[in-house]
Amino acid sequence: MFEKILIANRGEIAVRIIRACREMGIKTLAVFSEADATSMHVQLADEAICIGPAVSANSYLKIDRIISAAEVGDVDAIHPGFGFLAENAHFAEVCENCNIKFIGPRSSVIKMMGDKSVAKEAARKAGAPVVPGSDGPVANEQDAVKLAKKIGYPVIIKAVAGGGGRGMRIAHNDVSLVKGFHTARTEAERAFSNAAVYIEKYIELPRHIEVQIIGDQRGKVLHLFERECSIQRRHQKLVEESPSPALDESLRKHITKAAVRIAEKVEYTNAGTIEFLLDAKGNFYFMEMNTRIQVEHPVTEEAVGIDIVKEQIRIAAGEPLPYEQRDIRIMRHAIECRINAEDPANDFRPSPGKIEFYYCPGGPGVRVDSHCYAGYTIPPTYDSMIAKVITYGTDRRAAIDRMSRALSEFAIQGVKTTIPLQRAIMQDPDFRRGRYSTGFIDHFLGLKQIEMPDSAA
Ligand code: ADP
């Protein structure tokens, strides 16, 4: 097993990884930017090294500085968390070349699955249904129009190197397609330094279902069932749950089997997620694979009782998965709310600043993953997530009621948060019945005037 791990990340996920390491008796080295000197991950890690200024291009994304820190700190492995360098194949390759274990899949697999059109091809070869669309990047607007005619409107234009919902445009006709094609390319170039886009059929009001996969270095691939992440605003997830209320046993079997087959086909190792869209008729389509730990991994952990971060570390250290598929069961229902420092009453404008008062919920069935504390200042430089509240219970209703209760206890003053919105969602009859799609939030915000207290608490 590793003696010391460098955590190439910040915020809540860095804290999450430190917690796993501490329980496993592994030392941790945090890296941090000048904006994060007082951050929780720096305080909790055994050692910490400053790697540059606030702007992530000069710190958390700076491969040479992270590798230097790893060498100075004499670590055996690097955990990249999510975001930043987590899906950067070059970074994984540099780690491999420096003899530092990258806690994730091989760089070649990251590269392959990071190209969304190559990933779709891999899924197709594994026999999984994929969303109809272009077989690769679309070169120009004429080709785009031709293809859209063939697959039928509406279509969605997506960045080949996409992520975080950026670089996507929906088009209902030739005119909006030509316009969207150019804006999507510009946006993709700006966000990912890669303008390539591809086109696929836009599935109307789908549900977002993803399957958690783990694979060891001996070729064993298992699934930890599914998560549903359809409660999204602008393609950003706000509420996630496991299991999905949309799947019956037969559909669950099919979708998890398809996911395992895709992972096996690419000889996947470590933790990963295979994302699908489910249409109203019960057809599911492969969308993409994320070759890293995901923000919403705790709902799976609480539903099946497996610590995914510890598994990632054990797998990277060469240990075999000590159980079989039949040993993994859905033991209970879990829900997560991502609490962001944003103002839902003001078009979700980011609300960085000092947290004046912070009281986080507890009690039975509640888990809070966060790096925040009273007196902490949320820097404007990074993402706006302040905490993840996860609740679980014997069934879905118990988990939802518990979430309502937990959110009612969560008191954060000084910054605006999404808590009032999530509290309202927990009371929504359609949500409670499990009847929702990715269109839920737009509909919800359009129909209801949610009461937003001045200081969100
Ligand atoms: P990203 O990698 O940027 O997060 P994804 O490919 O995972 O992008 O898609 C994010 C979300 O965008 C999905 O959860 C879904 O809501 C929507 N989406 C993506 N592709 C389609 C599609 N073909 N039809 C309908 N919605 C889609």
pLDDT in tens, 159-187: 988 877 777 899 999 999 999 999 999 99
> Is the alpha carbon torsion for 451, 388, 298, 271 positive or negative?
positive
Gap from CA of 235 to ligand 1 centroid (Å): 7
Looking from the CA of residue 285, the nearest atom of ligand 1 is 23
Model confidence at 457: pLDDT above 50? no
Give, for ligand 1, the residue of 130, 235, 238 to mutate: max count of ligand atoms closer than 8 Å to Cβ.
235
Which residue's CA lies nearest to atom 22 of ligand 1? 202
Q: What pLDDT score does 447 carry?
A: 56
Cβ-contact 347, 364 below 8 angstroms: no
Neighbours of 398 (CB within 10 A): 15
Helix (H) or strand (E) holding 370: strand 366-370
CA angle (307, 309, 310) in 5-degree steps: 70
Which residue's CA lies nearest to atom 9 of ligand 1? 165
Output the ligand 1 site: residues, CB below 6 A: 131, 156, 162-166, 200-203, 206, 208, 232, 235, 275, 277, 287-288, 438
Gap from CA of 125 to ligand 1 centroid (Å): 21
What is the average pLDDT across 5-13?
98
Gap from CA of 203 to ligand 1 centroid (Å): 9
Helix (H) or strand (E) holding 47: strand 47-52
What is the average pLDDT across 318-347?
97
Q: How far apart are CA 34 and CA 45, in angstroms?
A: 16
Give, for ligand 1, the residue of 158, 200, 284 to mutate: max count of ligand atoms closer than 8 Å to Cβ.
158
Gap from CA of 157 to ligand 1 centroid (Å): 10
Q: How far apart are CA 325 and CA 224, in angstroms?
A: 8
Q: How far apart are CA 210 and CA 113, in angstroms?
A: 15
pLDDT in tens, 374-433: 999 999 999 999 999 999 999 999 999 999 999 999 999 999 999 999 999 999 999 999
Which residue's CA lies nearest to atom 7 of ligand 1? 288
Q: How far apart are CA 287 and CA 289, in angstroms?
A: 7
What's the mean pLDDT when you consider all of the chain?
A: 95
* Contacts for 319-328: CB closer than 8 Å, 24+ residues apart: 319/1, 319/216, 320/216, 320/217, 320/218, 320/220, 321/214, 321/215, 321/216, 321/220, 321/222, 323/222, 324/222, 325/222, 325/223, 328/222, 328/223, 328/224, 328/225, 328/304
The answer to which of 9-23, 387-401, 433-447 has the lowest mean pLDDT is: 433-447
pLDDT class of 136 with cuts at 50, 70, 90: confident
pLDDT class of 135 with cuts at 50, 70, 90: confident
Nearest to 41 by CA among 88, 84, 74: 84
Beta carbons within 8 Å of 380's beta carbon, 6+ residues apart: 350, 352
Gap from CA of 165 to ligand 1 centroid (Å): 7
The residues carrying an active-site annotation are 292
Beta carbons within 8 Å of 200's beta carbon, 6+ residues apart: 131, 132, 133, 134, 151, 155, 156, 158
- At 378, the amino acid letter reads I
Q: What pLDDT score does 451 carry?
A: 41
In 3-state terms the chain splits into helix, strand, coil percentages (rounded to 5) of 35, 25, 35
Phi, psi of 291 (to 5 degrees): -95, 50
- At 294, the amino acid letter reads Q
pLDDT class of 449 with cuts at 50, 70, 90: very low
Which residue's CA lies nearest to atom 11 of ligand 1? 235
Q: What pLDDT score does 417 carry?
A: 98
Tell whether omega for the bond before 154 is within 30 degrees of 0, i.e. cis. yes
Which residue's CA lies nearest to atom 12 of ligand 1? 235
Phi, psi of 212 (to 5 degrees): -80, 130
pLDDT class of 259 with cuts at 50, 70, 90: very high
Spell out the alpha helix ranges (H) of 226-265. 249-265
Looking from the CA of residue 438, the nearest atom of ligand 1 is 16
What is the average pLDDT across 67-90?
97
Q: What percent of the chain has pLDDT over 70?
A: 98
Q: How far apart are CA 308 and CA 314, in angstroms?
A: 10
Q: Dump the DSSP string for 64-120.
A: HHHHHHHHHHT-SEEE--SSTTTT-HHHHHHHHHTT-EESSS-HHHHHHHHSHHHHH
Gap from CA of 141 to ligand 1 centroid (Å): 21
The 3-state DSSP class for residue 241 equals: strand
Structural domains of the chain sorted by starting position, each given as residue range(s) with its CATH number in brackets: 4-103 (3.40.50.20), 132-201 (3.30.1490.20), 207-456 (3.30.470.20)
Spell out the alpha helix ranges (H) of 170-234. 174-192
- At 22, the amino acid letter reads R
What is the average pLDDT across 41-63?
98
- CA Rg value for the chain: 21
Which residues are bridge partners to 385 per DSSP? 340
Gap from CA of 443 to ligand 1 centroid (Å): 18
Model confidence at 125: pLDDT above 60? yes
Looking from the CA of residue 159, the nearest atom of ligand 1 is 3
Which residues are bridge partners to 213 per DSSP? 223, 272
pLDDT in tens, 272-329: 999 999 999 999 999 999 999 999 999 999 999 999 999 999 999 999 999 999 999 9
| 333-340 and 385-393 strand pairing | antiparallel
What is the average pLDDT across 193-210?
93
Which residue's CA lies nearest to atom 21 of ligand 1? 202
Looking from the CA of residue 116, the nearest atom of ligand 1 is 6
Which residue's CA lies nearest to atom 2 of ligand 1? 163
Model confidence at 117: pLDDT above 80? yes
What is the pTM for the complete model shown? 0.94
Gap from CA of 369 to ligand 1 centroid (Å): 26
Q: What pLDDT score does 382 carry?
A: 95
